[in-house]
Amino acid sequence: MAAKKNENKGYEMEKMFEIIANDHSYGIYPGEDKMSALEAQVSDAGYRGIADLLETTGQSLDEFLAETKAIEIEIKRIRIDFWEEEKVAVYFTLCLDEEKISTLEWVDSDGDLEVSDSHIDSAHQFSHHLKMFINDKLNDYLNRHRDEVDELFEAIAA
CA distances from residue 99 to 82, 93, 109, 116, 130 in whole angstroms, order as listed = 26, 10, 32, 27, 15
Which segment of 32-41, 70-79, 107-116 scores lowest on mean pLDDT?
107-116
Whether 17 and 90 map to the same domain: the answer is no
Phi, psi of 124 (to 5 degrees): -135, 150
Residue-number span of the structural domain to which 55 is assigned: 3-72
pLDDT bracket for residue 124 (50, 70, 90): confident
- Max Cα–Cα distance, the chain, nearest Å: 67
Q: How far apart, in whole angstroms, are the C-alpha atoms of residue 99 and residue 72?
A: 10
> Do 137 and 88 reside in the same domain of the chain?
yes
Number of domains the chain contains: 2
Q: What is the dihedral of CA 127, 132, 137, 138, to 10 degrees?
A: 90
Residues 61 and 83 in one domain: no
* Statement to judge: residues 84 and 148 lie in one domain: yes
Range 96-125 average pLDDT:
90
pTM of the model as a whole: 0.85
Q: What is the mean pLDDT of the chain?
A: 90
Q: Write the CA distances from 98 to 28, 34, 73, 95, 137, integer angstroms.
A: 17, 14, 10, 7, 20
